[in-house]
Structures are given as C-alpha cells and as structure tokens.
Structure 1
Amino acid sequence: MKEKKWGRIINIGSSSSYQGFSEGTIYCSSKHALLGLSRSLFAELKESKIRVFSISPGSIKTKMGKQDKKQNYKTFLDPKEVAEYIVYSINFDKELVSEEIRLNRFTM
C-alpha cells in the first residue's frame, strides 16, 4: 500500500469501543484497543494516502449477538445493511474521509 500510495484499512470495532457494559470488560477493552490502533494508524499512514477506518456498529444480528440475553435481538442491526454502508463509505477517493464511523439503529 505504501509503494502504491493507496490503500484502505478497515477495522470493525463496536459501540463498546466508546462505552463499556457490565461483564464485558475483556470484550470492551479489546474494542477500545482497536479504536486506539485505528486512530494511530490513521495519523501514521495519511501521508502515504492510506486511509484507515474504524467502523463501530451497535449490536448486529449474528450468532454471537443471539446469545446475548440482556438485549432484544429484534433491535439489532442487519449485517447486510452494515456491510453495504461500509462499502459505500470507503469508496470516496478525493478529499473526503470518515476516520471513525459509529453505526446505530434508528428507532422512533
């Protein structure tokens, strides 16, 4: 990527990167560390025109998410929609960059 002066690094974090939850110390710590890594790499690689994205979605409808009995699985994000949003977000190639993206469910 450095040789080509172009690249994308996408780190998938979690809303837990920003806020912890009870009995989630290890999980939240790892997501917070990933956020720190993304922020550092963003600063380190931007002159090489390599973009680093930290994507932090809320709970997603996955096998792991289904095991969480403390939350309502019906309110979780659709993984396909999350993936489509990520692909859309990383396609900008001029000046625009979203270094941190937090994805949550729109509820009324």
Structure 2
Amino acid sequence: MIALDFSGQTAVVSGGLQGIGKAIADLLHIGGANVVVGDIAVVKPERDRRYVVQPCDVASRTDAQALITTAREVFGGVDILVNSCGVSAMSPVDAMQERDWQRILDVNVKGLSYLSEAAIRIMKTQRAGRIINIASQAGKNGYRLMGQYVASKHAVLGLTRVMAIELAQHNILVNAVCPGIVETEMKWRERQQGAALRGLTADDIYAEDCSQVLLGRTAQPLDVANVVAFLASPLASYMTGQAINVTGGMTMH
C-alpha cells in the first residue's frame, strides 16, 4: 500500500461498495480524503464525518447529479472523481442480447459521462480536478465472448482522451486505468459463465487466466487502487489522457 496524503480533498467513487471500487474508496479514505460513495447496492445510506454512502444508479442522470450534489453540499466540492462502476455480460457475437447491450452501454459509458459532466461543472469553478476512469485491458484488446464489454471499454478510453483534450485548459486532468484480471465477484461470475459456454470449469478458466500473466498471478483490487491513488496525487500532475495498464504484464501497449 502506498502512503499519500489526500487530507482536505473530496473524492467521489462510483461502484464503491464492492470490488475495485471499494478498494479505491477505502484507500483514498485512509489517505485522508472525504469520500462519497455511490452504488446501486446501497440498502441504507450512511454518513459520518468524512464518509458518505448513498444509492446511485449511474445510468440515471438524476442519480448521478444527486451524488455529485451531495459531495458539494456536504464537503464543499469535488476534487477527485473515480468512475469505477461497471457491468459485463458474456455471449458469442452472434447471440448478443439487446437487454445486455442497453445495460452495458448505460452503465459503462453513459453513466461515466453523466457523473463526469456533473463533476466537471464544479471542477471548472475550482480550476482544478482529477477524473480517473476505470477502463480495462479490454479497452485495448479483444476477448472471446465479451464483445459488448470490450466495445464499452474501448468507448471509455475514447471518452477519456476527448475529456483530457477539452479539460486541460481548466487544470482538470483525466486519465484511465486499465486493469487486467482482478479477483472480484464480477470476475468469478464471468469465469462461471464463460466456462459454461466453453464446456470448461471455472477453475479451468482461472488456470488459463494465471497462465497469461507474466507475474504468474491475477490482481487483487488493491493493486488497481494503488495506481488510482497515484493518478489522484501530486505525483501525477503532468499526466493526462493516459490509459495505464495494471495487468501484471499481460497487456503492454
């Protein structure tokens, strides 16, 4: 774990109750940031001195705006936005379902845009901000049975680059993180679904995953959170429009 000081800053993290998003929210909070977490899985909103959790379906522009409004009203602004929320589906390219297309694009692409546009309004007035989009190595490569997810993550990288170009003049830095194979509930669900479609077991898929990583292991959520914290820190003050791999060497471009 890296040690960075985010005292006095406010971070908004979507999808912050599970997986990569939770690791990011926890790490920024440990580093001193005020944290506002939005997640569709929230049963009961929570609020303490430096940590707020509220329901948020990022596919709803109203929900996205409400999350950013909470950060402004409770903590006075938004310094860091981490778009970590994401969904996936698995199917051959000739059997992709309309309901999956709709949800994946609504969450992975439009949801990211909704949260970003609300945060950008505040960041422009502050003349400073960091937006960090959780993309995927699937934004750079193609993977069997994941056409819709791959398409959405390519779109995330495209949006990241355009946002970086447009917002640099306002001192708002926009970067993406491209995780590889990360041990989350979503990943295990994908393994089970992929195994069923390929006539394998989830353990077979796990072994296949590990065999593709130069470092010989898949990632933990904290591996990704550490890179997000770097991009949110002064150490990355001369970086924008980048797509940083966290793949153990699996993707190198």
TM-score (norm 2): 0.39
For 1:20 and 1:89, the matched residues in 2 are separated by: 26
Contact 2:137 2:179 in 1 (8 A): yes
Asked if residue 31 in structure 1 is aligned to residue 153 in structure 2, the reply is: yes
For 1:28 and 1:54, the matched residues in 2 are separated by: 15
Comparing 82-91 with 34-43, which one deviates more in the overlay?
Answer: 82-91
- Structure 1 gap ranges (5+): none
- 1:59-92 C-alpha deviation (Å, 9 max, x unpaired): 1110111231334366321101210221023202
Q: Between Structure 1 and Structure 2, which shows a larger proportion of helix residues? A: 2
Matching residue of 2:143: 21
Matching residue of 1:85: 227
Matching residue of 1:76: 218
For 1:86 and 1:16, the matched residues in 2 are separated by: 18
Write out aligned runs for 1:36-47 (5 A). 36-47=158-169
- 1:4-51 C-alpha deviation (Å, 9 max, x unpaired): 110011110000000011111000000000010001000010010000
- Structure 2 gap ranges (5+): 1-122, 192-201, 211-216
Question: Which one has more relative contact order, counting CA pairs under 8 Å at least 6 apart?
Answer: 1
For 1:22 and 1:66, the matched residues in 2 are separated by: 16
Contact 2:139 2:157 in 1 (8 A): yes
Aligned residues: 107
Percentage of pairs with the same residue:
29
Give the greater-gyration-radius structure (CA): 2
Matching residue of 1:12: 134
For 2:243 and 2:232, the matched residues in 1 are separated by: 11
For 2:244 and 2:134, the matched residues in 1 are separated by: 10
For 1:21 and 1:106, the matched residues in 2 are separated by: 16
**1:94/1:35 CA distance change after superposition, 3 Å:** closer
TM-score (norm 1): 0.87
Matching residue of 1:101: 244
For 2:236 and 2:147, the matched residues in 1 are separated by: 39
Over 4 Å off, 4+ runs: none
